[in-house]
Amino acid sequence: MAVAPRAGALDLARASHRSRVLRERAAALVTHVVLLVGGVAMLTPFAWMVSTSLKRPGDVFAFPPEWIPSPIQWGNYAETWRSAPFDHYLINTVVVSVSVTILDLTTSALAAYSFSRLRFAGRDRLFLLYLGTLMIPGQVTIIPNFVLMKYLGWTDTYLALIIPPAFSAFGTFLLRQFFMSIPYELEEAAKIDGASYPRIWATIILPLSGPALSTLAVFSFMSQWNNFLWPLIVTSSNNMRTFTVGLRFFVDEYSTKYHLLMAGSVMSILPILVVFVFFQRYFVRSIRLTGMGGT
């Protein structure tokens, strides 16, 4: 007699548990469906880009549109490559992105050590000045810097493409925040052993800052790869252009040859996508840490 009600309660609990599991499963399913549909929508432009890039010129304007090109025109890529100096665009973009990243990382890491660990007159005021300029939109400094490049005779050279973007207050700020979190004890021990500041920087601070340095590197590389306005105004010859600038003029020249425009776009996107796939977590972290960068 006493057993029956307990069994009932157990059944009830089981049923409610089952219904909760069911509800959770349903919610997960809905989430998957929404994310999947949204994800397809996110990628559709890229799929269409690739599809168009492989079509014959006559098939590009077919309506209703065809997703699978037939026959597949791999030759479009060769034609695009020949239609503009894409080899130069690629080399220039790689040279500029890599150089700026290395310079930015080095100078920022040096300055950040100074701001976070060393004492000197005017340190905090100077750092405040660094911070203050982060708020000024880049367009304000672009005109005077363009004029400066003209006076130095640097326009249309790698110097103009690499040197001005290589000193970011932003990188210094990001690394300083990270260096502040490294415990002092490690440094003190090295100091007692007679290590110099450069030695401490190179053997203690840098090895402990791998995640922050990688984050800044990925951020800096991506910003440079996708940078547009600065390379647009400081280059004038076609062979000095980077991918983004080259594409902009390619659009002017081949405005209706969409198969070539899409092939050019695919070529410009592929390298950064590969970098993204391998270093995804650093991209995400750079945004979490700073809320800046990328466009």
Of 116-155, which residues contact other proteins (CB under 8 A)? 118-121, 123, 126, 129-130, 133, 135-148, 150
Contact yes or no for 256/249 (Cβ under 8 A): no
Q: Which of residues 79-98 bind other proteins (CB under 8 A)?
A: none
Q: Closer to other proteins at the Cβ: 4 or 19?
A: 19
If DSSP codes are grouped into helix, strand and coil, which group holds residue 1? coil
Q: Identify which range of 3-11, 76-84, 182-190, 245-253 contacts other proteins by CB under 8 A.
A: 245-253
Q: Does 34 bind other proteins (CB under 8 A)?
A: yes
Helical (H) or strand (E) element with 93: helix 86-117
Q: Which of residues 200-219 bind other proteins (CB under 8 A)?
A: 201
Q: Does 19 bind other proteins (CB under 8 A)?
A: no
| Interface pick for other proteins out of 21, 22, 26, 44 (rule CB under 8 A) | 44
Beta-carbon contacts of residue 251 (< 8 Å; ≥ 6 apart): 261
Peptide bond into 64 cis (omega under 30): yes
State the Cα–Cα distance between residues 66 and 206, nearest whole angstrom.
53
Q: Closer to other proteins at the Cβ: 3 or 119?
A: 119
Contact yes or no for 123/165 (Cβ under 8 A): no
Q: Which of residues 161-200 bind other proteins (CB under 8 A)?
A: 163-164, 166-167, 169, 172, 194, 197-198
CB of 182 to other proteins, least distance (A): 15
In the DSSP assignment, the letter for residue 227 is: -
How is residue 34 written in tokens?
């929404």
CB of 92 to other proteins, least distance (A): 14
| Interface pick for other proteins out of 15, 21, 22, 27 (rule CB under 8 A) | 27
In the DSSP assignment, the letter for residue 240 is: G
CB of 213 to other proteins, least distance (A): 15
Q: Cα separations (Å) of 80 from 26, 73, 225, 227, 246?
A: 48, 12, 20, 22, 12
CB of 126 to other proteins, least distance (A): 8
How is residue 44 written in tokens?
């559709």
How is residue 116 written in tokens?
């976070």
Q: DSSP characters for 35-75?
A: HHHHHHHHHHHHHHHHHHHTS-HHHHT-SS--SS-SS--TH
Binding-site size, other proteins (CB under 8 A) = 95
CB of 85 to other proteins, least distance (A): 17
CB of 178 to other proteins, least distance (A): 16
Strands (E) located in 86-243: none
| Interface pick for other proteins out of 61, 74, 158, 278 (rule CB under 8 A) | 61
Q: Angle at CA 266, nearest 5°, toward 262 and 267?
A: 120
Q: Closer to other proteins at the Cβ: 208 or 232?
A: 232
CB of 254 to other proteins, least distance (A): 10
CB of 110 to other proteins, least distance (A): 5
| Interface pick for other proteins out of 45, 75, 153, 211 (rule CB under 8 A) | 45
Q: Does 295 bind other proteins (CB under 8 A)?
A: yes
